[in-house]
Each structure stands twice: as structure tokens, then as C-alpha cells.
Amino acid sequence: MRPWKLSLLLSLSLVIGGYAERNAVEEKNPYSTEWSQLYEGIDFRRASSEEKRLQKVCVLRIDTQQEELCFYTTGRHKNFKDTDSETERETASDFLTEHQLLAAVNANFYSPFNSHTRTTRGPSNVIGLAVSEGELVSKAQEEYPSFTVSSNKVCKIGIIKPGDSLEGIRTAVAGNAIVLKNGEITHQESDDVHPRTAIGISQDGRYVYLMTIDGRQPGFSMGASLEEVGKWLKSFGAWEGLNLDGGGSTTMVVRGENGKAKVMNVPIGNANIPGYLRHNANHIGVRKLSEEK
């Protein structure tokens, strides 16, 4: 079979799978205010709104007091080179499976960003701070705020400047806008609407929220502005919030009963095809300490 025909068939299967997943969600799990436990210390919830525009939201609540859980983000490329080959691009499903995680979402923006890098594995430059297992993967950039986890599980969201000490930071990813600060939704210059991925922290620091808002899908979910991201995070219990890479990158996965990755949202990863998973430069997820490699 010609390569382009195989590619078309794969794309069509992803489209069909995406719509099937969407329909299953609508039939079996009405969007509500109920949390359900996926794993000990990890709860999941869906939500929906038509107040301003149609939005479908998925959120994971991670209990940092659960001693067996730890955060993990993509490590260095085997041929690491600063600002060039910092990480290996992969889908969220591959990230979860290959690193034996329980749940994950996409994280930093990255470059180069084009039709080739969106759909293939390969070396990428991560934009903004990234730290994996205490090792620096990508340097901090002041215009890209960070989410950090210390070696004693203290989580923070804030601006880390180039040259600031990273001592004690075990895990870090970066986004492009702080959307929630001290419980207040922050004003944003842009009101553009896109699919979104975000991360939040509760006021007492106990819970971390990983959230996706689907978009670019008329009749299903249109996406959200940055201020709407802050509102959603606050509604789930967050006190601090950070917007991560979104658009076609927005993906949430969890480990299914069969041990394989299960996509919880409906990504729009490439050419606006529902169900298509993009290859991203890094992700952030949660795993059990007892399952660390």
C-alpha cells in the first residue's frame, strides 16, 4: 500500500475513533459536578458550559499528600543539545505508556513547529523552563511562567528568571500566562479562543489540577479564552493557575484498565481532525513511585 494511502487510512481511523469517544462520553457520562476516583490520589471530572460558548472540559485532581504519587515530565534527548535537541517529540499516549504513568497532559510550547514536527517523532527545543528528575532540560525564560515541584512535593506557579537558582526543583514545566493568582482571575490582553491545557494549585497546596478544554469543534466544544481558563480552574478549586501549550497540542490521557493509554478529551491535533494526537516536545504526568524505572 502506498504510504499516503496508509496515512489517510490511519487519519480516518483516528477521526472515527475520536467521534466514537465523543459519542460515548455524551451517552455514558453527562458533564456534571461529580468527581470520580481513577486511582488513589487521582480524581477525574468532566464539565460543560454554554454560557458564552460551548465548552467541554476535563480535569484531573492530584492529591500531593498521596505518598506513592510523584510528578514526571519529559527528560533530555539522548543526543541533548541546548536550544536544539532538548527532548524527543512524542504523543501523550506514548509518553504515558513508555514511562508507566497513571495520567498526563501536554506541557510546554516548543519549536520548530510545523506540519512535519506536529506529526512525527524527532528532536525539539522546549520553550521555557523544563526540569525532569532534577535535571535541567530547558532554561527558564522570564516571559514563560513556570509550574515547579520541589523534592519535598511543594508545588508553585510563578516567574523564574534566567539565572535564578533551581536548587531543590525536581520537576518543572512552563506556559505562557498566569491565569489565576491568589484566587483572582488575572486580566489578559488577548481574548482569543482556542483549545486549552492548564495546570492549577489549590490554596493549601495539597491539590494540583490538570485541565483540558476542547476547541475548534463546532457543535461540540469551541475552546476558551485565557480568562475563561482562569475561571474554570477556580471553579474546580484552584488558587493559582497557569496556561500551558494549547490548540492542537491539548491532550489528556490516563492509564486504562488494560494498561494502555486512554484519551479523555477530544484532541484536534493536526489539520483540525478530531481525535488526532499531536507529537509534543514534552508532557507532565503522574506515576507511582513503586513503578519508577
**Every domain of the chain and the residues it spans:** 3-291
Give the pLDDT confidence score for residue 33 in this predicted structure.
65
Closest CA to 231 of 158, 193, 180: 180
If DSSP codes are grouped into helix, strand and coil, which group holds residue 110?
strand
In the 8-state DSSP scheme, what is residue 90? B
Contact status, residue 59 vs residue 45, Cβ threshold 8 Å: yes
* pTM tops 0.85: yes
User: pLDDT 10s digit of each residue in the chain, 293 long?
Assistant: 443 333 333 433 444 344 444 444 444 443 456 899 999 999 999 999 999 999 999 999 999 999 999 999 999 999 999 999 999 999 999 999 999 999 999 999 999 999 999 999 999 999 999 999 999 999 999 999 999 999 999 999 999 999 999 999 999 999 999 999 999 999 999 999 999 999 999 999 999 999 999 999 999 999 999 999 999 999 999 999 999 999 999 999 999 988 899 999 999 998 778 999 999 999 999 999 988 76
In tens, the pLDDT along 194-234 reads 999 999 999 999 999 999 999 999 999 999 999 999 999 99
How far is the C-alpha of 249 from the C-alpha of 154, rounded, in Å? 27
